[in-house]
Amino acid sequence: MKQEQVLNFNAGPSALPEAVLQQAAEAIINYNNTGLSILSIPHRGDLFVAILEESKALVKELCGLSDDYEVMWLQGGGRLQFCMVPMNFLRQNETAGYIDSGHWAAEAIDAAKHYGTTGVLASSREDNYTHLPQWPESVDKGLRYLHFTTNNTIYGTQWPSIPASDVPLVADMSSDIFSMQRDYTNCAMFYAVAQKNLGAAGNTLVVVRKDFLERVHPGLPPMLDYKVHAEKNSLLNTPPVFGIYVSLLMLRWIKEKTIAVIEKENRAKAAMLYAEIERNALFHAAVDADSRSLMNVVFHGRSKEMEKQFLECCAGRGIVGIEGHRSVGAFRASLYNGMPLAGVEKLVSVMHEFEQSGG
């Protein structure tokens, strides 16, 4: 079946570009005409080390980072990063700042409480995260770090930029990395799970500035120690070879397209869908206009019954994955880099027809 026959708006794992899927499929049978499957190459051999090195170089190039940063591929997803960040950088008698802007931001705070004190510097929880909280005007310089989530995948809000910070800034960029031009150098560290905008589930990109890495507390088990992973070049244990290869294919695809063009398309896709939600009497946006995400568009229908009918209508038109997260309900359309403009055009035309047909 051709990919275009089903339009996939899932939030993650999510749609990948056709060209990436094609190359990944070929590599499973015969990787680069080596006669070997990518699933069977040794992780310490030249073939995989070349994949690793190219992926690291591309991350630095696309983010505009110098050799002051270490690039790693780790496992355990975003959830393990929520633990590893405080494990490595926070002690019981120390405090880290957190911005509480949504579900995943709050999960990161809960995880950090096991290791030290968390100061929540801003939160929009009281308003059910329907807008971004106010970024703190001043931050205590004694904080070990300040953690925030660039894009709130479930609630559909997104920070427009990465602010400069007096304390080391740690960013969870899982659902919007490489979706727009960003000042990555304002971060002491950032991480992103692969399954949203950067490949398949199984590997997580972790980037840490070397001077921040020097602050890692000693005495951690090696598998949980960023310094050890950096020293071992992400080869402490057997890494997810195939997943890292798929991420490399994504990185090459992003480089070829350029982030400037990707950003332009992402802005056009989101603008088109939000405009239809505003225009169409059957739908309304869940998020305040100045906080809306380009990646995850969250919206409601006029009634529960109408929402159910619209989902059925979409299913009949080959549109999948627009159900909202189980904690929010209604709809969420994820417009990651792999979703073409034509896909959003199709969704908008189905919304339009649904309105015409009487909802």
Q: Which residues are catalytic?
A: 104, 172, 196
Applying CB under 6 A, does 277 fall inside the site for ligand PLP? no
Q: Using DSSP, state whether 214 is helix, strand or coil.
A: coil
Which of 13, 77, 340, 359 is close enough to bind ligand PLP by CB under 6 A? 77
The residue from 8, 88, 124, 149 that contacts ligand PLP (CB under 6 A) is 149
To ligand PLP, the closest distance from the beta carbon of 274 in angstroms equals 20
For the bound state, the minimum distance from the C-beta of residue 190 to ligand PLP, rounded and expressed in Å, comes to 11
Q: Which of 24, 115, 159, 172 binds ligand PLP (CB under 6 A)?
A: 172
Least distance from C-beta 149 to ligand PLP, angstroms? Answer: 5
User: Pairing relation of β-strands 189-193 and 204-209?
Assistant: antiparallel
Q: Is 55 in the site for ligand PLP (CB under 6 A)?
A: no
**313, amino acid identity:** C
Query: Which residue has tokens 């990395």?
Result: 177
Q: Which is nearer to ligand PLP, 193 or 328 (CB)?
A: 193
Residue range at the interface with ligand PLP (CB under 6 A); choices 42-50, 72-80, 266-274, 335-343: 72-80
Q: How many residues bind ligand PLP (CB under 6 A)?
A: 12
When the beta carbons of 104 and 226 are compared against ligand PLP, the nearer one is 104
How many Cα atoms sit within 13 Å of 241 on the Cβ side?
A: 19
Structure tokens at 252: 């090459």
Residues 298-357 that bind ligand PLP (CB under 6 A): none
Strands (E), the chain: 7-8, 69-74, 95-100, 117-123, 146-149, 151-152, 157-158, 169-172, 189-193, 204-209, 283-285, 296-301, 319-320, 331-334
Which one, 131 or 325, has the nearer CB to ligand PLP? 325
Q: Which is nearer to ligand PLP, 27 or 146 (CB)?
A: 146
- CB 323 → ligand PLP: shortest distance, Å? 16
Residue 356 vs residues 282, 288, 348, 359: alpha-carbon distances, Å: 10, 27, 12, 7
The 3-state DSSP class for residue 69 equals: strand
| Span from 30-38, 75-83, 286-294, 300-308 in contact with ligand PLP (CB under 6 A) | 75-83
Out of 56, 60, 182, 196, name the contact with ligand PLP by CB under 6 A: 196
Binds ligand PLP by CB under 6 A, chosen from 21, 43, 79, 320:
79
Q: By CB under 6 A, is residue 293 in contact with ligand PLP?
A: no
Residue 353's Cβ-count burial label (10 Å; 0-12, 13-18, 19+) is exposed
CA distance linking residue 30 with residue 254, whole number of Å:
24
Residue 78 touches ligand PLP, criterion: CB under 6 A: yes
Question: Do strands 169-172 and 189-193 pair parallel, antiparallel, or not at all (unpaired)?
Answer: parallel
Q: Does 203 bind ligand PLP (CB under 6 A)?
A: no
Q: Does 175 bind ligand PLP (CB under 6 A)?
A: yes
Using the contact rule CB under 6 A, the part of the chain among 71-79, 126-134, 303-311, 343-351 near ligand PLP is: 71-79
CB atoms under 10 Å from CB of 326, counted, come to: 7
Closest residue to ligand PLP using C-beta atoms: 77
* Closest among 196, 199, 204 to 158, alpha carbons compared: 196
Q: Report the candidate in 169, 163, 155, 145 with the shortest Cα–Cα distance to residue 124.
A: 155
Q: Which stretch binds ligand PLP (CB under 6 A): 58-66, 168-176, 218-226, 313-321?
A: 168-176
Q: Which residues face 48 on adjacent strands? A: none
Closest CA to 195 of 204, 187, 186: 204
Measured in whole angstroms, the distance separating CA 347 from the mean position of its chain's CA atoms is 22
Does 193 participate in binding ligand PLP (rule CB under 6 A)? Answer: yes
- Residues near ligand PLP (CB under 6 A) are 12, 77-79, 104, 149, 153, 172, 174-175, 193, 196
